[in-house]
A = this chain, B = another copy of it.
Amino acid sequence: MAILVTGGAGYIGSHMVLTLLEAGHDVVVLDNLANASRESLSRVAELAGKTPAFVEGDIRDRECLDRLFAEHTISDVLHFAGLKAVGESVAQPLRYYENNVAGTLTLCQAMAAAGVFRLVFSSSATVYGDGHPMPIHEGLPTGTPTNPYGTSKLMVENVLRDLARADERWSVALLRYFNPVGAHESGRIGEDPNGKPNNLVPFIAQVAVGRREALSVFGDDYPTPDGTGVRDYIHVMDLVEGHLAAMRVLASRRGVGIWNLGTGRGYSVLEMVRAFEQASGRPVPYRIEPRREGDIAECWADPALARKELGWQAARGLDAMLADTWRWQRTNPQGYEPS
């Protein structure tokens, strides 16, 4: 029996594959390499001393999925494949809905046809929408995400909820990520964004390493201690360990479980900048720009439910997140494909 990891060559997926291999699982990776590189899997194999099976293909390709399920005996699907750039999703909504929503429908249909009913889905705290008091717990109603990326995550949550209601063979985990950052402590794998990074920490890292001139900080007049936005950053290795815990719990429960994956503590943009300067020993120049539409002042998780039900909590602090990011960035300044 193997675990299928969709999007397993991407940032979070590659860390997941490494963790699964190290935990003794057989792994099949499905990735269309749209925003990922084969090199990540070579390095995972080198770190783990084992090579995952790799299928280059797309979750939207039903024939490809059927072949994969015929050739491999899959017990669980960890579903990371998807597009994730908020700004791009606003410009190309059909592409986002097609990849994220229609792709997941096709994946679920292929799973059901193959008799595979355990699924861990990469959701996002964005499904909560605005206006909740912090911290955010899973009992809050979902809201209205402000962009197609977020809407696609909420749509998939609703599809999976309805699916598990209709057919009791399904065991589904909806894992609502806060802000994954960091890299494996080896520095051999990490986040390698295409083009301009959409997220804070990869942007800071590219400034520190000299690939970009300065960080844009969007808004310093939020009602937060230093006026900049506060978010709950979680180390990617903690995040993938949360998936492992969820997968284990799914083996003995049915229906849909929803768990936040966050640390329960927020840091402001300027705190992140200072901490990264400390971790890297490099200056991170920044300039204040106007607020970005759709951004909220602060957001952090109540991580109690995952602790209680999954027996999991984030173990790595901000120093590790940023030291590991920096190790990856410093030794791979151009990511996986040096220019």
Interface residue A163 (Cβ < 8 Å from any Cβ of B):
yes
Q: Which of B93, B108, B151 is close to A94, meaning CB atoms less than 8 Å apart?
A: B108
Which residues does chain B contribute within 8 Å of A112, judged by CB atoms?
94
List B contacts of A108 (CB < 8 A). 94
Contact-residue size bin, chain A (C-beta under 8 Å from the other chain): 20 to 34
Distance in angstroms from A208 CB to nearest chain B CB is: 34
Cβ < 8 Å to B, chain A residues 141-190: 148, 151, 155, 158-159, 162-163, 165-166
Task: List the B side residues contacting A224 at CB < 8 Å.
Answer: none
Could you tell me if B102 and A166 are in contact, using CB atoms closer than 8 angstroms?
no
Contact B98 A166 (CB under 8 A): no
A155 CB → nearest B CB, Å:
5
Chain B residues, Cβ within 8 Å of A93:
159, 162-163, 165-166
What is the 8 Å Cβ interface bit string for chain A, positions 77-114, against chain B (1 contact, 0 not)? 00000000000001111100110011001101100100
Decide if B159 touches A94 in the complex (CB within 8 Å).
yes
Contact residues in B for A97 (Cβ distance below 8 Å): 101, 105, 159, 162
**Docked CA distance A162–B91 (Å):** 9
How far is A92 from B97 in the complex, measured between Cα atoms in Å? 21
Closest B residue, CB atoms, query A101: B101
A92 nearest in chain B by CB position: B166
Bound complex: CA A112 to CA B101 (Å): 19
How far, in whole Å, are A151 and B108 apart by their CA atoms in the complex? Answer: 18
| Beyond A94-B163, A97-B101, A97-B105, 19 additional pairs, beta carbon < 8 A | A90-B165, A92-B166, A93-B159, A93-B163, A93-B165, A93-B166, A94-B105, A94-B108, A94-B109, A94-B112, A97-B159, A98-B105, A98-B109, A101-B101, A102-B106, A151-B158, A151-B162, A155-B155, A155-B158
- Chain A residues in the interface with B (C-beta under 8 A): 90-94, 97-98, 101-102, 105-106, 108-109, 112, 148, 151, 155, 158-159, 162-163, 165-166
What would 19 A/B residue contacts be, using CB atoms closer than 8 Å? A90-B162, A90-B165, A92-B166, A93-B163, A93-B165, A93-B166, A94-B105, A94-B112, A94-B159, A94-B163, A97-B159, A97-B162, A98-B102, A101-B105, A102-B102, A148-B162, A151-B158, A155-B155, A155-B158
